[in-house]
Amino acid sequence: MDWEEKNSEEAADAPKTEEETEDGLEPEEIETAAQREAREKREEEERQAKAKKRRLIPPFVMLLAGAVVSITMRILHYELQTMLVVLLCVLLGFYFVGRILQIMLDRFEIQIQEAHMEEGEVIEKEPSE
């Protein structure tokens, strides 16, 4: 095979440049409607999975704090009635702390999604006169 023939075959197989494509996008960058719908569906499922995991934050924080307080009060020989009142207050307090943490994480995710949406948008300027 001649050197010129080899180069001409490679040039034919090479991807088109921006000037050669109609809309300036590479073939890999073009997204069909079906692909977009599949991507959006997959992203929604991921968001729902994250939301399910975040729902477990308040009970986990509450139970962890309750276990630590119960063990500590048992070691310090608290009376049963005092122990139950303190434990109830701790459980309620840490449930609300976990709930606040969950709300903050939800808001952070919304801000991140909005930032990604803004990155994808192209803002066109009005032509100056």
- Burial state string for 97-125 with b = 16 or more CB within 10 A and e = fewer than 16: ebeeebeeeeeeeeeeeeeeeeeeeeeee
- Whether the CB-CB separation of 105 and 53 falls below 8 Å is answered with no
pTM (whole model) above 0.85: no
In a domain, 2, yes or no: no
Could you report the per-residue pLDDT of 77-89, keeping only the tens digit for each? 999 999 999 999 9
C-alpha 103/C-alpha 95 separation (Å) is 12
Say whether 22 sits in a helix, a strand or coil: coil
C-alpha 100/C-alpha 77 separation (Å) is 32
Could you report the per-residue pLDDT of 8-54, keeping only the tens digit for each? 555 555 555 444 445 554 555 677 888 888 888 898 888 888 888 88
Domain that holds residue 89: 55-119
pLDDT of residue 18: 46
First to last CA, the chain: 59
In a domain, 89, yes or no: yes
In a domain, 35, yes or no: no
In a domain, 82, yes or no: yes
In a domain, 81, yes or no: yes
In a domain, 63, yes or no: yes
Q: What percent of the chain has pLDDT over 90?
A: 42
In a domain, 18, yes or no: no
How many domains does the chain contain in total?
Answer: 1
